[in-house]
């Protein structure tokens, strides 16, 4: 039997991969998505909260809404209306959605809510879902790529998209072999009920040990935290009981919202930086964490992934007389379109992580003076905020 042939096969059903599949199907591109795990709507208990949340920028929210994948109003989405960033020596920088002419700086959404909306969109579109299916081999010919699965099935595509995470199997199969650079930190995430109202304010503290603690507003009197902590501290946090962890987090945030109460078990994720020589190769493109890895201090990882999906969809949808979705000219357009925004976000986040990781009294004074100086320059703050918003 001949293998089914698609314009695009997407390897990986993470959020960017699902968004790309839905967007391409809307553009009348024949697409399939392959993943090792079943692609199903999560079974959600409305009485619980997902410890993994995302700060979805207004630009990403608009893209998701355009493909019918923004979560329906359900009291599970919270607007970040302001943000307070505090340096490790007391300097403060603030951002306001009102001052920037925005409804919100970002929207806090649980991972499971985004996944549910995206999976429903994929299942309701003309998209072939091949899952669960493990990858076995990937070969490239001049005019087609062939994906072999471990159950003996093969599929052919004009373009294969690697959306399979920071240690991407597709990326290595295409000959792009780069090891992520470890930050020496682990992100500890958890949700808490708080004594005082957060009023839509996200808070972030650069710690003297080089770590970064972020409090993100959830609906009601709740917050989600991301503590990018040195490995030893992260291990301590993960071992603490619920009361000790809540006290530790509250103290690290200067008790800004009063007493905290843990409402989800903590989870931990090692942090790494990934910069690739190219996001494309012959009949292959990368999106999401397969294409770039960044520090979570600015909350832009998922937004970069959605930006990749939107850009690749736009390039393929506007290909005109170029019928081949994997044509080199289209891949070059995609790579060019994403080069500047990806580099900009990586440069800022990696630069800040490195800067606040330097344990020098003089450097500490200088970086805090810099934060305080930017706080006094509204135009500079607006310039810093605009790329993150869009």
* Sequence-distant (≥ 6) Cβ neighbours of residue 249 within 8 angstroms: 190, 192, 213, 225, 227, 260
CA distance 345 to 180: 17
Q: For the chain, how many helices (H) and strands (E)?
A: 10, 19
Total-model pTM: 0.93
Q: Are 201 and 54 in contact (CB under 8 A)?
A: no
Cα separation values, 112 from 282, 362, 375, Å: 34, 44, 35
Q: Which two tokens stand for residue 341?
A: 């925004």
User: What CA–CA distance (Å, rounded) separates 360 from 175?
Assistant: 40
The Cα 203–Cα 249 span in angstroms is 12
Distance CA 280, CA 96 (A): 37
At 388 the pLDDT is 67
Pairing of strands 5-11, 53-56: unpaired
Looking at residue 353, what is its pLDDT?
83
DSSP 104-167: -SEEEEEHHHHHHHHHHHHHTSSEEEE-S--EEEEEE-SS-EEEEETTS-EEEEEEEEE-S-TT
Mind listing the pLDDT tens digit for each residue in 280-338?
999 999 999 999 999 998 788 999 999 999 999 999 999 999 999 999 999 999 999 99
Q: What is the pLDDT of residue 349?
A: 87
Q: Contact 128/32 with Cβ under 8 angstroms? A: yes
pLDDT, position 1: 52
Q: What are the structural domains of the chain? A: 5-41+118-179+273-355 (3.50.50.60), 53-110+180-271 (3.30.9.10)
The C-alpha R_g of the chain, in whole angstroms, comes to 21
Separation CA 312–CA 337 (nearest Å): 9
How many Å apart are CA 129 and CA 131, to the nearest integer?
6
Q: How far apart are the first and last CA of the chain?
A: 46
- φ/ψ region of 165 (left if φ > 0, alpha if ψ in -120 to 50, else beta) reads left
- What whole-number distance in Å separates Cα of residue 361 and Cα of residue 171? 42
Alpha helix stretches (DSSP H) within the chain: 15-26, 58-66, 111-123, 169-173, 231-239, 242-252, 301-317, 328-355, 361-375, 378-389
SS3 call for 95 = strand
Give the length of the chain: 390
| Burial class of 337 by CB neighbour count within 10 A (0 to 12, 13 to 18, 19+) | middle
- Residue-level pLDDT at 375: 72
Rounded-to-integer distance, Cα 316 and Cα 32, Å: 15
Taking the C-alpha atoms of residue 146 and residue 136, their distance in angstroms, rounded to an integer, is 11
Q: Is 375 exposed, middle or buried (0-12, 13-18, 19+ CB in 10 A)?
A: middle
What's the pLDDT at 380?
A: 67
Sign of CA dihedral 66, 70, 75, 78: negative
**Dihedrals phi, psi of 313, to nearest 5 degrees:** -60, -45
User: What residue ranges of the chain have pLDDT lower than 50?
Assistant: none
Q: How many CA atoms lie within 13 A of 163 on its CB side?
A: 30
CA dist 104 and 60 (Å) reads 12
What is the distance between the alpha carbons of residues 301 and 92, in angstroms, rounded to a whole number?
A: 24
């Amino acid at each position: 039997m001949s293998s089914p042939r698609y314009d695009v096969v997407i390897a990986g059903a993470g959020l960017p991969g699902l968004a790309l599949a839905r967007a391409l199907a809307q553009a009348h591109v024949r697409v399939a998505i392959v993943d090792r795990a079943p692609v199903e709507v999560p079974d959600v208990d409305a009485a619980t909260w997902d410890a993994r949340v995302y700060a979805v920028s207004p630009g990403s929210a608009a893209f998701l809404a355009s493909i019918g994948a923004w979560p329906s109003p359900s009291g599970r989405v919270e607007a970040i209306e302001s943000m307070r960033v505090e340096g490790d020596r007391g300097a403060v920088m603030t951002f306001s959605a009102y001052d920037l002419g925005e409804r919100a700086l970002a929207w806090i959404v649980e991972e499971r809510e985004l996944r549910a909306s995206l999976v429903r969109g994929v299942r309701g579109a003309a998209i072939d879902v091949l899952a669960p299916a493990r990858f076995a081999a990937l070969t490239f010919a001049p005019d087609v790529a062939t994906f072999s699965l471990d159950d003996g099935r093969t599929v052919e595509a004009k373009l294969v998209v690697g959306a399979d995470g920071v240690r991407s199997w597709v990326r290595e199969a295409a000959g792009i072999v780069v090891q992520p650079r470890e930050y020496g930190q682990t992100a500890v995430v958890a949700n808490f009920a708080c004594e005082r109202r957060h009023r839509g304010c996200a808070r972030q503290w650069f710690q003297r040990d080089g770590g970064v603690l972020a409090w993100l507003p959830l609906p009601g009197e709740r917050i989600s935290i991301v503590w990018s902590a040195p490995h030893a501290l992260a291990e301590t946090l993960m071992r603490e009981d619920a009361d000790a962890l809540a006290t530790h987090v509250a103290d690290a945030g200067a008790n800004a919202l009063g007493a905290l109460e843990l409402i989800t078990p903590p989870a931990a994720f090692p942090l790494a930086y990934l910069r690739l020589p190219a996001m494309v190769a012959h009949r292959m493109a990368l999106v999401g964490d397969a294409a770039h890895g960044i520090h979570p201090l600015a909350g832009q990882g998922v937004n970069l992934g959605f930006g990749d999906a939107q850009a690749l969809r736009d390039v393929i949808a506007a290909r005109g007389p170029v019928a081949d979705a994997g044509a080199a000219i289209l891949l070059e357009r995609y790579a060019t379109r994403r080069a500047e925004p990806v580099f900009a976000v990586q440069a800022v986040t990696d630069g800040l992580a490195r800067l606040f990781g330097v344990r020098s009294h003089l450097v500490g004074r200088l970086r805090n003076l810099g934060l305080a100086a930017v706080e006094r320059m509204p135009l500079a703050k607006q310039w810093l905020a605009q790329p993150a918003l869009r």
